[in-house]
Amino acid sequence: MKKIIILILLSTFFIKQELYAQVITQYELVPLHLNPANAGNFNGDVRVSTLHYDRWRSVLGADAYQNTSLAVDSRIKLSKSSYLGAGITGGLSVAGAVNFRDDKIAITGSFNQHFRKTENSHHAFGVGLDLGRGFRQLTASVVGGLRTTNYMDLGTGAYYQYVSKSRFNVQIAYAIFHFNRPNVSFSQAGDAELDPISHIYAFVELPIKNYSIIPRYFSFVEGDWSSNQVRVDNRFYFKNSNYSNWIQVGPFGKFTTLPNQEYPLHNLGVLAQLKIAGFTVGFSFDRHRELLSNTYEFSLAYIFGAESQDP
């Protein structure tokens, strides 16, 4: 019965919905997929990041929903306090249960400005634009068999952040994708416009010697429903690393506004991440309380020419 329910959900949602961003946990490790303003917003020369997640395998087996994403970005200094960011992203989603496939490639650009910079801290803001091309394939009774479509996609975003040597750090950001409302109908005469997707997220790092607690909030809004994630990271910095290397673990919960849902708090999980010598690796696990099925997420990022945490 659970498998039938999931197949119905997949067949319905994949026509008009995008199920990637609202289910990922380690969203900050795929920064360009989260917000195009993040292009170039890091300490270093070139950043490469990838994430893979596997969803509902305990119910669907080999037909589990999977997604793999990859992004590369860099920055060009305009002055001591401003720079341009540029990147390219790619993503592949596959759900064998309904022969669904969603490929997307995009180019991303941003402008970033530091202001009120002192020796120990700075404020900054950034704005960005994402231009992508997507391709979808679906086999399901709701579309009458095998169908394919492709579309152009536009996104934009902005962020504000405060960074300090004391490690009291804050970021607040907003991004919107599909604001051109691309038509992803599998029929030339059809009308299946994607609703705009909004990302709202924020975090604050609260330092205590070589330890920090980092509450995080992420909201995904599409049409008349939303998904919200609350996460609390516990970060431990390695000594003699100038606060550049750390390990962190944290619990999280995910809430949605879907009607007739038995558990508004539908996912509970935990993650672990390690950052050392320019590398960041992560793993997360969460349990869906109604479907009694699991999601596993693996991430890897590397920054070439990684710099210290100095602002």
**What CATH number is associated with residue 191?**
2.40.160.40
**Quick check: is 280 in a domain?**
yes
Task: Identify which has the larger pLDDT, 140 or 2.
Answer: 140
Residue 310 placed within a domain: no
Q: What's the pLDDT band for 173 if we cut at 50, 70, 90? A: very high
Can you give the pLDDT at residue 304?
94
In this structure, is residue 274 part of a structural domain?
Answer: yes
What are the tens digits of pLDDT across the range 126-170? Answer: 999 999 988 877 765 555 566 777 888 999 999 999 998 889 999
Residue 116 belongs to some domain of the structure:
yes
Dump strand ranges (E) for the chain. Answer: 46-55, 65-77, 82-95, 100-115, 121-140, 145-164, 169-177, 197-208, 211-222, 225-237, 246-256, 265-276, 279-288, 293-304
Domains contained in the chain, number: 1
Say if 296 falls within a structural domain. yes
Is residue 11 pLDDT above 50, yes or no?
Answer: no
Q: Could you tell me the pTM of the whole model? A: 0.84
Domain membership of residue 311 (yes or no) is no
Range of the domain at 142: 2-304
Whether residue 98 lies inside any domain: the answer is yes
Rounded to an integer, the average pLDDT of 45-55 is 89
pLDDT at 56: 65
Q: Compute the mean pLDDT over every residue in the chain, rounded to the nearest whole number.
A: 82
**Comparing C-alpha atoms, which of 151, 3, 123 is closest to residue 64?**
3
pLDDT at 8: 39
Record the tokens describing residue 250, joined without a space: 């944290």
235 occurs within a structural domain:
yes
